[in-house]
Amino acid sequence: MTLNLCVLTPNRIILDSEVKEIILSTDSGQIGVLPNHAPIATAVDIGILRIRLNDQWLTVALMGGFARIGNNEITILVNDAEKSSDIDPDEAQQTLEIAKANLQKAEGKRQTIEATLALRRARTRVEASIAIA
């Protein structure tokens, strides 16, 4: 038995496929979803989505949003997403270093919040780029 998974951003469809299992980062922690999972709607955190297709795992960096799970269908709508295979590890690492520096230079509450979010996104991209399942 499989799950129908659709990962969407406002601009494009990242993935639309039948999968065996996913592990999703939510605001309350990671959840694993197998066929016949109980219906749920949840906020998606900035983090990694792991997808099992047959015997292989695919990793996607998610930049926050929402997910709906029910009737063996999973719809994930996020602000942005990138498959691990589309991320350049060197570029992701450089972006992480810049984000760290920007956080240290941040002044005031707004700059600190924005820099912290940029750092979380950069860390997620680095994690996805080097993910080995």
CA 102/CA 111 separation, integer angstroms: 9
pLDDT score, position 54 = 84
CATH 1.10.287 corresponds to the domain 87-131: yes
Average pLDDT, the chain: 94
d(C-alpha 33, C-alpha 124), whole Å: 21
| Inter-helix orientation angle 89-105/108-129, to 10° | 160
Is 35 in a helix, a strand, or coil? coil
- Asked if 83 and 58 touch (Cβ cutoff 8 Å), the reply is yes
Q: 3-class DSSP state for residue 39?
A: coil
Instruction: Name the 3-class secondary structure at 6.
Output: strand
Contact indicator for 71, 37 with CB cutoff of 8 Å: no
- What is the band of 132 on the pLDDT scale with cuts at 50, 70, 90? low
Q: Which residues pair with 49 in a beta bridge?
A: 60
Q: Read off the pTM.
A: 0.90
6-39 confidence digits (pLDDT tens) = 999 999 999 999 999 999 999 999 999 999 999 9
- Per-residue pLDDT tens digits for 71-87: 999 999 999 999 999 99
Domain positions in the chain: 3-84, 87-131
Buried/exposed 80-103: b ≥16 CB within 10 Å, e otherwise: bbbbbeebeeeebeebbeebeebb
Superfamily name and number for 3-84: F0F1 ATP synthase delta/epsilon subunit, N-terminal (2.60.15.10)
